[in-house]
């Protein structure tokens, strides 16, 4: 295993906890433990009595039951809980890939989706999104990338960092191509349920494709990254067993308090999602007007889903711009270079409640 530094995490490590405005967060507004416990009258008492022994390695049966309820036709035995989505990505790649294999990865992407694949010794081809086509992916290009040794196709809808959501018919064709070719589809769905129009929501890959793996997490749409609870859902239980065997060498089992709180939160999923979609909708209209006012400086591609987008700075170098902005005004944007992007893009996040103040500060900086 040979992993380069995780550029995005290193960038965040420098600023995340000492900057005034984190205007590039990929998660939605979070909650306190107390807010979660107040969702049910007896939850605080039950939490106080919750046992702190080791937990069941695949995830507690009642948590897996709640997670399975997110999907149609998926049972608790088809869920494996992890420490965040990150552990699941790591174990999945190591369960499937190795030297001599080939993987195709939606690009640009959250770095571990491509680097962990490469780190297994497998050969990786980026499947590049087209900015000129609202960050769409081309299925003909995918077919040209497929080789006899292709084992895995990795996609992420809604997409980090562009907010792209594939249309339903195309997504079903993608699943069909993977199935016909005997290739496993790994579908990173950590921003699912954050579609601005619920009619745009795609089925989970695990619902429509018997060999696909869907990745979910508490962090993004539900706003609970501090729980570090993520999971995979798949009907391929042999693959789940391989991942479970690897998990014995990473975290063994999940945090007991986090399992309790994740299960509680998932029982109230619609309320959590509704709160965060309201924040996103309000913030998006602020961003629409902001980018309209500054059309001479930025290109704005309004996403269809999720709390992040990938606009382009027209003049100047994006790294220098982000650096100057954060040091003089305390507003953090994420330069696209951490995604190996060369198009002068930056990630902006709009799932947090303080976006209006952050955008006002950004505008003051631009108007200086
Ligand atoms: C697309 C994508 N997948 C996976 C993850 C990892 O999620 P977590 O940090 O909750 O483990 C992230 C986090 O930013 C992400 O954006």
Question: What pLDDT, in 10s, does the model give residues 206-217?
Answer: 999 999 999 999
Given a cut of 90, whether residue 1 has pLDDT beyond it is: no
pLDDT tens digits along 229-264: 999 999 999 999 999 999 999 999 999 999 999 999
pLDDT at 331: 97
- Per-residue burial over 23-33, b = 16 or more CB atoms within 10 Å of its CB, e = otherwise: bbbbbbbbbee
Given a cut of 90, whether residue 2 has pLDDT beyond it is: no
What is each CA distance from 11 to 20, 73, 264, 276, 333, in whole angstroms? 15, 40, 33, 25, 10
| Contact between 224 and 196 (Cβ < 8 Å) | no
From the alpha carbon of 26, which atom of ligand 1 is closest?
Answer: 14
Spacing, Cα 108 to ligand 1 middle (Å): 14
Is the Cβ atom of 219 under 6 angstroms away from ligand 1? yes
Mean model confidence pLDDT for the chain: 97
Given a cut of 90, whether residue 17 has pLDDT beyond it is: no
Is the Cβ atom of 190 under 6 angstroms away from ligand 1? yes
Given a cut of 90, whether residue 202 has pLDDT beyond it is: yes
Spacing, Cα 189 to ligand 1 middle (Å): 9
Residue 208: both structure tokens together: 């429509």
pLDDT tens digits along 327-356: 999 999 999 999 999 999 999 999 999 999
Which of 219, 230, 310, 334 to probe ligand 1 with, by most ligand atoms within 8 A of CB?
219
Which of 110, 194, 221 to probe ligand 1 with, by most ligand atoms within 8 A of CB?
110
| Contact between 140 and 147 (Cβ < 8 Å) | no
Is the Cβ atom of 349 under 6 angstroms away from ligand 1? no
Interatomic CA distance for residues 234 and 253, integer angstroms: 19
| Contact between 332 and 23 (Cβ < 8 Å) | yes
Interatomic CA distance for residues 59 and 63, integer angstroms: 7
Spacing, Cα 219 to ligand 1 middle (Å): 8
348: which residues sit within 8 A by CB, 6+ positions away? Answer: 23, 24, 287, 308, 309, 310, 311, 333
Predicted structure pTM score: 0.97
From the alpha carbon of 218, which atom of ligand 1 is closest?
Answer: 10
Spacing, Cα 86 to ligand 1 middle (Å): 6
Given a cut of 90, whether residue 36 has pLDDT beyond it is: yes
Per DSSP, the residues of 162-179 read T-----HHHHHHHHHHHH
The rounded percent of the chain whose pLDDT value lies above 70 is 100
pLDDT at 151: 98
pLDDT band at 16 (very low <50, low <70, confident <90, very high): confident
pLDDT band at 200 (very low <50, low <70, confident <90, very high): very high
Phi then psi for residue 121, to 5 deg, are 95, 0
Q: Name the DSSP class of 28.
A: P
Which of 25, 164, 220 to probe ligand 1 with, by most ligand atoms within 8 A of CB?
220
From the alpha carbon of 225, which atom of ligand 1 is closest?
Answer: 10
**Ligand 1 atom 15, closest CA:** 110
Spacing, Cα 296 to ligand 1 middle (Å): 32
Spacing, Cα 292 to ligand 1 middle (Å): 30
Is the Cβ atom of 156 under 6 angstroms away from ligand 1? yes
pLDDT tens digits along 133-149: 999 999 999 999 999 99
């Amino acid at each position: 295993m040979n992993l380069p530094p995780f550029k995005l995490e290193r960038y965040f490590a420098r600023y995340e906890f000492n900057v005034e405005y984190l205007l590039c967060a990929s998660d939605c507004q979070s909650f306190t433990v107390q807010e979660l416990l107040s969702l049910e009258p007896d939850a605080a008492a039950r939490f106080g009595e919750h046992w702190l022994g080791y937990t069941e390695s695949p995830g507690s049966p009642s948590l897996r039951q709640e997670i399975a309820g997110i999907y149609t036709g998926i049972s608790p035995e088809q869920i494996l809980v992890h420490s965040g989505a990150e552990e699941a990505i790591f174990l999945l790649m190591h369960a499937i890939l190795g030297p001599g294999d080939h993987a195709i990865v939606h690009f640009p992407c959250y770095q571990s989706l491509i680097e962990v694949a490469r780190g297994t010794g497998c050969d990786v081809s980026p499947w590049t999104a087209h900015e000129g086509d609202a960050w769409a992916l081309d299925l003909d290009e995918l077919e040209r990338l497929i080789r006899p040794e292709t084992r895995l196709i990795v996609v992420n809808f809604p997409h980090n960092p562009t907010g792209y959501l594939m249309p339903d018919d195309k997504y079903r064709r993608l699943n069909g191509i993977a199935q016909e070719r005997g290739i496993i589809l790994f579908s990173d769905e950590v921003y699912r349920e954050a579609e601005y129009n619920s009619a745009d929501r795609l089925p989970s890959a695990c619902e429509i494709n018997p060999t696909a793996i869907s990745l979910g997490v508490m962090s993004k749409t539900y706003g609970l990254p501090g729980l570090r609870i993520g999971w995979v859902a798949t009907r391929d239980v042999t693959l789940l067993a391989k991942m479970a065997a690897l998990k014995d060498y990473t975290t063994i089992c999940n945090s007991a308090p986090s399992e309790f709180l994740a299960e509680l939160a998932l029982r109230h999923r619609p309320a959590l999602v509704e709160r965060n979609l309201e924040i996103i909708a309000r913030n998006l209209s602020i961003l629409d007007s902001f980018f309209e006012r500054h059309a001479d400086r930025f290109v704005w591609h309004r996403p269809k889903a999720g709390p992040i987008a990938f606009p382009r700075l027209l003049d100047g170098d994006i790294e220098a711009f982000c650096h100057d902005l954060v040091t003089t005004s305390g507003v953090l944007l994420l330069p696209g270079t951490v995604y190996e992007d060369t198009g002068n893009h930056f990630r902006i996040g709009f799932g947090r409640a303080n976006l209006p103040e952050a955008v006002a500060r950004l505008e003051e900086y631009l108007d200086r």
